[in-house]
Structure 1
Amino acid sequence: MLNRLQESDIKLLRVFYAVASCNGFTAAEPVLRMQRPNISAAIKKLEERLDLVLCHRGRGGFQMTKEGEVVFQETKRIFNAFDNFVFNLKSLHDDYSGHITLVLMAGLATSMQLAVSKAVKSTMKKFDDIHVNIQTRLYNEVEHVALSGECHLVLSTYDMVKPESVTFHSTGVHCKGRLYCSPTHPLAKYREADALPDNVRIEDFPAIGMSGLSSVNYISGERRLAIQTFSDSYDVCMAAVMTGEYVGLLPDYIAKEQGAATGLVPICKGSLFPFSHELFVMNGKNTRLNPVLRHCIKELEYFISESQK
């Protein structure tokens, strides 16, 4: 079992990272500039070093094991940290080149994702030797990612108490939402009602919550949602709502972009449990905001604001 990481292990991890990212040995050959037998030998040696089976290969195709998935995610964290270290080191010498990592909250509106593309394009055009790595994380992971040094910038809504260790740059955009149900849910018949009848209690209907979301979202005056289970993203929350078993809080853009085809119903004209979560560009206080990152933040703020007009 591996007790200490050596330089040779880093090389083996890079091979595994490429294979896992490409979802196969053959697809990784041009990326690694290695032939398949050499790639296979490197993976086997890494598995021996870790005393773990990382993937299955054969007639059924390439498939990572559960242990392989964990090693892949941890490897991604290591290499992101390496890239960030090199980028920050170069910036101390006014050398603005290398890779920057931008993390997006999973399930952002399509308009916001397009705005991110425009901001990234603008940044890469201004700084010729900059490459941007865009990743996604679940809502309850974004604060940790901003603090961990895995990335430079995070784009996400945030409704918790803001930690002093994270810097928040407002985009001026708020993601609004409310309580939804499926067309088959008993509360769907109150779609056009101004309020629920006195004999109908929202507490009597199971609700699904979102991991990481502040609990104040589930309280409105004397009413409280009966949270029975949690999802890790708005997409998953919507899927649970569409089973007809739960009501759930969803951003309006989810209902507009994805819910239109499924018939998501805003209960009581959408007046129940309304929320408005501000969208931020975030970075850890330890992240050095050099001209590249400052320009990227400025462009993100501009294009996201423009996308909402």
Structure 2
Amino acid sequence: MLNRLQESDIKLLRVFYAVASCNGFTAAEPVLRMQRPNISAAIKKLEERLDLVLCHRGRGGFQMTKEGEVVFQETKRIFNSFDNFVFNLKSLHDDYSGHVTLVMMAGLPLSYHLAVSKSVKSTMKKFNDIHVNIQTRLYNEVEHVALSGECHLVLSTYDMVKPESVTFHPVDVSCKGRLYCAPSHVLAKYRDGFPNNVKIGDYPAIGISGLSSANYIADDTRMAIQTFSDSYDACLAAIMTGEYVGLLPDYILTNQGAGLGLVPVGKSLFEFSHELFVMNGKNTRLNPVLRHLIKEISYFIQQVDQ
């Protein structure tokens, strides 16, 4: 069992990270510039060091074990932190080259992803030898990744009390939403509000992990949260069972939910508006590359919402 990381372990982890990212030994060969037998030997040695089976390989193809999935996610965190360390160190010498890691909240609309693409292209054109890793995280993880050093910047909505350890750069765009149900739900006929004899608390609702509980209260009316999902996409799937009502941003209706017949109910009773931010931990040094990227993200997303 591994008690302390050695330099040789890091090399083995890089091999495993490439194999897991490429979903197979053969696909990882050009990335690692190694032949398959050498890759296989490295994975076997790593498994011996960790005393874990990380993946199955054979006629059934490549498949990670549950333990392998955990090691992969932890390895990703380690290498993101390494890349960020090197990038920040170079910045101290006015060398603005290297890898920038940008995390986007899962479930943001495609138009925002395309705006980020334009922002990244602009930044890479302005600064030589810059590479941008774009990743996604669940809503309840965005604060942690901003603080942990796993990334440089996070693009996300945020409706909680803002911690002093995170810097928030407003994008001047808000994601509006409301209460939705499936067309088969008994409340689907109440688009314009609920009559006095209908109590929303009598109907099971689904919540989003990490979302402020204040979102589920309107005046003296409280939703009956019976279960939770970890993203808006998962919440949409639960709502479409016809068993739950739930809060969704309106862009879900025109993106992921297009054609599903989602019904906004209760009119303005549970409307919400969550501001969009670019976030970074206070320990992240905002050099000219990151400042330019923040400015470009704000500009291109505002263009989408005009």
Same fold by TM-score greater than 0.5: yes
**Alpha-carbon distance in 1 for matches of 2:37, 2:135:** 31
2:200 pairs with 1:202? yes
2: CA distance, partners of 1:198 / 1:93: 67
Q: TM-score normalized by structure 1? A: 0.98
For 1:128, the equivalent position in structure 2 comes to 128
Residue of structure 2 in register with 1:48 after alignment: 48
Letter in 2 for 1:301: S
CA RMSD of aligned residues (A): 0.7
Rounded to whole Å, the distance in 1 between the matches of 2:258 and 2:41 is: 50
Corresponding position of 2:297: 300
TM-score, structure 2 length as denominator? 0.99
Mapping 1:1-309, distance limit 5 Å: 1-191=1-191, 194-268=192-266, 270-309=267-306
User: Residue by residue, what CA displacement relative to the aligned partner does 1:105-125 show, whole Å, maximum 9, x if unpaired?
Assistant: 000011111110110000000
Deviations 1:29-61 (A, max 9, x none): 000011111100000000000000000011111
Instruction: Give 1:271 shift.
Output: 2.0
Aligned length: 306
Could you tell me which runs of 5 or more consecutive residues in structure 2 were left unpaired when the two chains were aligned.
none
Structure 1 runs of 4+ off > 6 angstroms? Answer: none
Q: In percent, how many aligned pairs have the same letter?
A: 84
Deviation at 1:272, TM superposition (A): 2.8
Counterpart Cα distance in 1 of 2:115 and 2:159: 22
Q: Output the CA distance in 1 between the equivalents of 2:263 and 2:299.
A: 33
Q: Deviations over 1:111-154 (max 9, x none)?
A: 11111011000000000210000000000000000000000000
How far residue 177 of structure 1 moved from its aligned partner, in angstroms, is 0.1
Residue 199 of structure 1 aligns to a residue whose secondary structure is coil
User: What do the CA deviations read for 1:85-104 (whole angstroms, capped 9, x no partner)?
Assistant: 11011111100000000000
Residue 301 of structure 1 deviates from its aligned partner by 0.8
Q: Please give the alpha-carbon distance, in whole angstroms, between the structure 2 residues aligned to 1:43 and 1:208.
A: 42
Moved more, 105-114 or 137-146: 105-114
Task: State the shift of 1:254 in Å.
Answer: 0.6
Secondary structure of the residue aligned to 1:262 is coil
CA distance in 2, matches of 1:6, 1:260: 51
Report Cα offsets for 1:227-275 as digits up to 9, x if no partner. Answer: 000000000000000000000000000112122211100014x423000
Secondary structure class of the residue paired with 1:260: coil
Letter in 2 for 1:152: H
Cα deviation per residue 1:136-183 (whole Å; 9 max; x = unaligned)?
A: 000000000000000000000000000000000000000000000000
